Amino acid sequence: MQKTIAKLADGRELLYFDRDGSPPRADVPDPRPLDPVGSRPELRLDAATGDWVAVAAHRQDRTHRPPADACPLCPSRDGRPTEIPAADYEVAVFENRFPSLAGAAGRCEVVCFTPDHDAGFADLTAERARLVLDAWTERTAALSARPGTAQVYVFENRGAEIGVTLAHPHGQIYALPYVPPRTAKMTAAAAAHRAATGRNLFEDLLAEARGARERLVAAGEHWTAFVPYAARWPYEVHLHPHRRVPDLTALTEAERAEFPRLYLDLLRRFDRLFGLAEPTPYVSAWHQAPVRGGGELALHLELFTVRRAAGKLKYLAGTEAGMEAFMNDVAPETAARRLREAL
């Protein structure tokens, strides 16, 4: 993989990731007359829960579902400049123009997987998916080294049903200045499990899932995908490497080489799940250990959809939105069986 660094017209950083041998792209300037980014999101502490809340009012003005010919994530072509000045790219990463976090309070980056506006991650080749994995890994290392970063969160939201405002296939990476609530809960659960059993929680969860084949979805030599015993979402799959590691930077070459095949297989199963012409909306979230003090938390990916049946979405009801008490309409064993059959 080769990385080239450029600057956008307002001073934001842009990085191109290409397979070795691709032509350099950093010498293409951004011709747009953009003012320097002046947004300053604010972090506020909810004293009632101890949770941090980002207040980013400037995001009300962000680009919202533009037509394809005005997409800011496509390459710049025919005199139409975009966030990516080059006429083509493989994987591009840049600082978000409308960030939820910025400056000393964190950083938000956009990851464009492909220049093809009408594609999705599931349409990538294994080689391109591997390049995305390598870009995620490089950014995890770089953002973890930033002063003040507590955790690096890599994720993709896909589909209008999820709330995506740009249809072009892309994900995001956040350098969070605090440990978010879900990570804090998992870290506490892992510590309690260690105290009670002397073992690692995530190793035990993986071993239990591999033994309970009714919740198994797919497996390789280095990775296993399964539906968790207490899944919160109608169709939710966790993908774990067999060897416990804290984050993407700790994966071996063999683990990296196998990941694209299994991940693309899962995404394609999700798209076939409901027999619909349109792709399945989903959230794909990498859970990595906090930069400091997260040794018990194991790297894994959680993939879930808000669609519970053809033509039906899973909305957060009052118990879930108000009390964070989830209630699932689909038995995890049924979800796993349907995903196994979705070839």
CB 188 within 8 A of CB 209: no
Distances (CA, A) of 98 to 37, 109, 218: 9, 10, 37
| Strand (E) or helix (H) holding 17 | strand 13-18
Contact of 298 with 200, CB cutoff 8 Å: yes
In contact, 95 and 142? CB cutoff 8 Å: no
Q: Which residues contact 316 (CB under 8 A, 6 or more apart)?
A: none
Residue whose pair of structure tokens reads 């390049």 in the numeric block: 131
* Contact residues for 212 (Cβ-Cβ < 8 A; gap 6+): 229
> E strand or H helix at 14, and its extent?
strand 13-18
> What's the rounded Cα separation, in Å, for the pair 111 and 96?
9
Q: CA–CA separation, 254 vs 130, rounded Å?
A: 12
DSSP 8-state assignment for residue 24 = P
Q: Is there a catalytic annotation at residue 170?
A: yes
Compute and round to an integer the Cα radius of gyration of the chain.
20
Distance CA 147, CA 262 (A): 34
**Of 58, 117, 168, 170, which one is the catalytic site residue?**
170
Q: Which residues are catalytic?
A: 170
